[in-house]
Amino acid sequence: MVKKQEGVKHMQSFSFYSPTKVIFGKGTELGTADEIKKFGGSRVLIVYGGGSVVKSGLLARIEQSLTSAGLAFTSLGGVKPNPRLFLAREGVQKGIDFGVDFVLAVGGGSVIDTAKGIAHGIANPGTDIWKFWLKEVEVTKSLPVGVVLTISAAGSETSDSAVLTDDETWTKRGLSTEFNRPKFVVMNPELTYTLPKYQIACGVVDIMMHTLDRYFTPDEGNAITDEIAEALLRVVIKNGQVVVENPTDYDAASELMWCGSLSHNGLTGLGAKKDFATHQLSHELSGRFDAAHGASLAALWGSWARYTYQEKPERFARFAKNVWSIETNDCKLAAQEAIDKTVAYFSSLGMPTSFSELGIGVQSEEVLQDLTDRCVFHGARTIGQFKVLNRSDVYEIYKLANH
């Protein structure tokens, strides 16, 4: 039996470290080589994905700028969404062979997280990088990483986190360390114009979730943090819709891109416990079914919220009022309406709100049990803070989404 979570009523002590230099605006990718040099790079490994940056010509432009600046480089392409451990390991070897001293990610969260893993591996040549993810070895040094961002979503460009999937066991795990903070990120919203609408919508959900997974906390007394979180959510909801409808709206794409970084650099949860249960639940879905990260979150959040809101309906009522402009004095009603509105918003973007809409179908009892066991590390952990979720809670949430 897990005890009801006791929240505190004042700002908790925190440390905030967001050292990533942000270079924002049209054409900023042209300054990439200069930034690499400023951060001490001379031999660069460029990491990219499945081909979008080749097709758009971005990779060629970056390579040209590195050549003009006299930087030696080699490349590693083929990073897949839900990035695989084996490719990161391959990148480590390639980097060591080439004498790389800087890793440049050109892409989204999957590419950036692969680059982070490679940077740790090159700096620690005797250590298999998965040991860092399994928390068997601590990261104490790494190589500098720079980013040219092509999608507003994961926030990895300023976050302290990196998520990889072990393709032998289909286990998806995150690693948090200050060594995961990139040195710089180049953000040109125009680079997102080529994204498919589905992927933009996944990004909108993920950006919202990085703040929602912090906002739903048992703690109170964080006026500025809460107001920043609510403002960010309102801006993402408004502009996310615009970008999904018109991916080349520069102003809306700019708001979305900047929100993507602010939502996951730590700012929207300072001074309070973080929840992140929906993220933990979703990693099991992405690991097992290779489902897109944002879509997995959308498929689960409504079930998480409906299962947990009674823990503290006042918090959901505040969310209802300040994010969705829902005016009612009945806390529970406000909470339910806000959950419905959020889920309806995900649907309006074309995002799934159940397993079948996610495209994985209704799952058997056996699969639900397996997802649950993996999520709670076979009983070794609980997840969440807004409501601490034990094995049976986790199972119930999966079950609620299983239609």
Q: Is 192 in the site for ligand NZQ (CB under 6 A)?
A: yes
Q: Least distance in Å: CB of 330 to ligand NZQ?
A: 33
| Nearer to ligand NZQ (CB atom), residue 95 or residue 107 | 107
82 binds, among Zn ion, ligand NZQ, none (CB under 5 to 8 A by kind): ligand NZQ
117 binds, among ligand NZQ, Zn ion, none (CB under 5 to 8 A by kind): none
111 binds, among Zn ion, ligand NZQ, none (CB under 5 to 8 A by kind): ligand NZQ
Is 222 in contact with 184 (CB distance < 8 Å)? no
> Rounded CA gap, 119 and 179, in Å?
9
Binding letters toward ligand NZQ, positions 44-83, x by CB under 6 A: -----xxxxx---------------------------xxx
| Nearer to ligand NZQ (CB atom), residue 100 or residue 151 | 151
> Rounded CA gap, 96 and 334, in Å?
56
Task: Give the residues across from 44 on adjacent strands.
Answer: 73, 102
DSSP assignment of 380-396, as one string? T--B-SSS-B-HHHHHH
Q: Least distance in Å: CB of 325 to ligand NZQ?
A: 27
Q: Is 113 in the site for ligand NZQ (CB under 6 A)?
A: yes
Q: Least distance in Å: CB of 113 to ligand NZQ?
A: 5
Angle at 380 between CA 379 and CA 385, to 5 degrees: 95
Can you give the binding site for Zn ion, defined by CB under 5 A?
206
Q: Least distance in Å: CB of 194 to ligand NZQ?
A: 4
Range 77-106 burial, b when 16+ CB lie within 10 A, else e: bebebbbbbebbbebbebbeeeebbbbbbb
Q: Least distance in Å: CB of 19 to ligand NZQ?
A: 15
Burial status of residue 322 (CB atoms within 10 A of its CB: 0-12, 13-18, 19 or more): middle
| Nearer to Zn ion (CB atom), residue 171 or residue 296 | 296
Q: Is 91 in the site for ligand NZQ (CB under 6 A)?
A: no
Determine which residue in the list 203, 218, 269, 352 makes contact with ligand NZQ, applying CB under 6 A: 203
Q: What sign does the dihedral 163-21-178-96 (CA atoms) show?
A: positive
352 binds, among ligand NZQ, Zn ion, none (CB under 5 to 8 A by kind): none
Q: Is 142 in the site for ligand NZQ (CB under 6 A)?
A: no
Look-up: residue for tokens 């097992």? 288
Binding letters toward ligand NZQ, positions 269-308, x by CB under 6 A: ----------x-------------xx--------------
> Rounded CA gap, 321 and 335, in Å?
9
Q: Is 28 in the site for ligand NZQ (CB under 6 A)?
A: no
110 binds, among ligand NZQ, Zn ion, none (CB under 5 to 8 A by kind): ligand NZQ
What stretch of H or E contains 348? helix 331-348
- For residue 351, the tally of other CB atoms under 10 A from its CB is 24
Q: Least distance in Å: CB of 372 to Zn ion?
A: 21
Give the amino acid at 36.
I
Q: Is 266 in the site for ligand NZQ (CB under 6 A)?
A: no
Angle at 22 between CA 194 and CA 279, to 5 degrees: 70
HSE at residue 193, side-chain half, CA atoms within 13 A, is 13
Angle at 274 between CA 184 and CA 324, to 5 degrees: 90
| Nearer to ligand NZQ (CB atom), residue 163 or residue 323 | 163
Determine which residue in the list 108, 121, 146, 266 makes contact with ligand NZQ, applying CB under 6 A: 108
Is 241 in contact with 205 (CB distance < 8 Å)? no
Q: Which stretch binds ligand NZQ (CB under 6 A): 122-130, 152-160, 219-227, 229-237?
A: 152-160
Binding residues (CB under 6 A) for ligand NZQ: these are 49-53, 81-83, 107-111, 113, 150-151, 153-156, 159, 161-163, 191-192, 194-195, 199, 202-203, 206, 264, 279, 293-294
